[in-house]
Structure 1
């Protein structure tokens, strides 16, 4: 079950629960940012009203996190 939880600058929690819906994941990269688009394929929902999450991450932070994960996996 895919879900996304964020806490905004005002301290409020926002959650997108995709439940058991089919999801699509798209990755778009530029020189300095990576954008992750996760969208549920909700049947019966009007076009443009699907549940989605959009994450924009500085590329250097994503690269560091992936490298840390690779090192951790190698030690296991």
Structure 2
């Protein structure tokens, strides 16, 4: 029984380790371009007098307006 539990734990940890990092994705766009677009959105919003949560929402909206989709599997 203990072996079964250990095997199941090892398998579940392996499954988590193979998941890609969450990221912004847009078909036909390189990851480096997505990173630059996100940096531009953050820069444009950075000086606004908003809470951090509002700034994060604004960055999300900016990226969505540019055609990106958040991938977080």
Give the TM-score normalised by the residue count of structure 1.
Answer: 0.28
TM-score (norm 2): 0.29
Q: Which has the higher contact order (CA 8 A, sep 6+)?
A: 2
Structure showing the higher strand proportion among its residues:
1
